[in-house]
Structure 1
Amino acid sequence: MHLLSFVLDIDMAKVGYIFKANSYDEYDADKEWMCQYGCVQVIEELVQHETLRPRWKQLMSNLERGDELVVSKFSNAVRGLRELAALIELCRIKVVRIISIHDKIDSRGELFPDTTAAEVLTMFGSLPEEVAVLRKSSDRVIRLQQSISVPVKTNKMMSKNERDKIAVDMYNNGYPVNEIMERCNVKSKSTLYQILGKYNVTLSRKPGRVPGNRK
């Protein structure tokens, strides 16, 4: 029995995740905390990848039963309450321990025993605002980089599949329709909603009349 427990412990991994937002000043300290805690890897997401977060998605798919996930803050890792709920549910199913350094939350209740229920509820309440500030700062950096170093024709050079995936991801994460159209070089709202319909996206905003949908 003890031997089995030992084997299971060997397979468990501690992994850290930091989104390197432009306005986030705690990066070095957080990475040091994660390394001191014993994370075998600290995954860093670049600000240029804020829209799709490919490394976060890969991390979520690679988490296994018994692993430990360490994040700087929940608002640094997820992009809204819906993603936070999905993360909590995934970790519940996979029995993954979640540690948020600055929120002082440990799902096992060991590292931050003094954290109160009121503080946890405050974290939930302030998360949308913190995420909005983080995304606004990151989006500004991306716009500056695009205007300085990326030719205007870059968007036109995207393949249709790349354009569609970016449009779907931006819509699902609450970006304004006009901003999605500009980023993906889509000329009309009807074209955008055709793309969303192609990928069976549930529309959370009123699209107006969509071609093919008549009352």
Structure 2
Amino acid sequence: MAKVGYIFKANYDDTFDANKAWMQQYGCVHIVEEAVEQEILRPQWKQLIASLERGDEIVVAKFSNAVRGIRELAAFIELCRIKVVRIISIQDGIDTRGKLFPETTVAQVLEMVGALPEETAALRKVSAHIINLQLNIKSPQEKKRSGSRQERNKNIVDMYNNGHSLDDILAVSGFKSRSSVFRILNKFNVKLNRGNFSGPLGKRKQNEKDDSVKE
């Protein structure tokens, strides 16, 4: 019968190290650490629940750290009841065998259940905010790369509008194919005026000469 732990690595959680140390000292053979990016799907939590066997013990940092609402809590408790799995919640002071936290009262358990929706909602809000910042705030290196692309695209448009040949534009832009240049021009709705061509170059026929499209 195995003892396993689970911690969702919430941002700004100053209890993470203490909870992990508690689980290790208790004898957990494995401690699952769910990344903040997986707050919605919780794939490792689902795998852990599915792998529980009769007589196992699962230790969570806190119920609001493990489940995402009252329904999930009820389903989790029912599953553990059926599989005869012992549940220990460190911060809630709950042990379904009633041995580790004898001082915990019924009133405190009910208070935990009542506060669960608010705590899980706050956890989701913070996690979503952090992910949003990670996606939308770029590092200096990323900004530099983005700025370089913008500058390159601007040069392509300006050179084309000023009458430069496609060969000149390719040399400056760093692109290897004319189709890439035309893609940028089309993106910025530039009116193409090189000969009879009005779009990206297609695949050339074998008998088509290199000078079939005049600059």
Hey, what does 1:15 align to over in structure 2? 4
Hey, what does 1:42 align to over in structure 2? 31
Contact 1:69 1:98 in 2 (8 A): yes
The match for 2:92 among 92, 96, 103 is 103
The offset of 1:23, in angstroms, is 3.0
Contact 1:23 1:134 in 2 (8 A): no
Alignment of 1:66-145 (within 5 A): 66-145=55-134
Instruction: Go from structure 1 to structure 2 and tell me whether the alpha carbon gap of 1:85 and 1:61 turns closer, same or farther (over 3 Å shift).
Output: same
Gaps of 5+ in 1: 1-11, 152-215
* Paired letter, 1:32: A
Higher relative contact order (CA 8 A, sep 6+): 1
Helix, strand or coil at the partner of 2:87 = strand
Helix, strand or coil at the partner of 2:28 = coil
Runs (4+) off by over 3 Å: 148-151
Helix, strand or coil at the partner of 1:99 = strand
Helix, strand or coil at the partner of 2:137 = helix
Helix, strand or coil at the partner of 1:66 = coil
For residues 85-144 of structure 1, give each alpha carbon's deviation from its aligned partner in whole angstroms, at most 9, with x where no partner exists. 000000000000000000000000000011110000000000111111111111111111
Normalization by structure 2: what TM-score? 0.63
For residues 20-59 of structure 1, give each alpha carbon's deviation from its aligned partner in whole angstroms, at most 9, with x where no partner exists. 0113210000000000000001100000111110000000
The offset of 1:148, in angstroms, is 3.2
Contact 1:97 1:106 in 2 (8 A): yes
Alignment of 1:152-191 (within 5 A): none
* Paired letter, 1:30: N
Report which of the two structures shows the higher radius of gyration computed on alpha carbons: 2
CA distance in 2, matches of 1:69, 1:132: 23
Contact 1:23 1:137 in 2 (8 A): no
The offset of 1:149, in angstroms, is 5.5
* Paired letter, 2:31: V
Contact 1:73 1:100 in 2 (8 A): yes
Normalization by structure 1: what TM-score? 0.63
Helix, strand or coil at the partner of 2:135 = helix
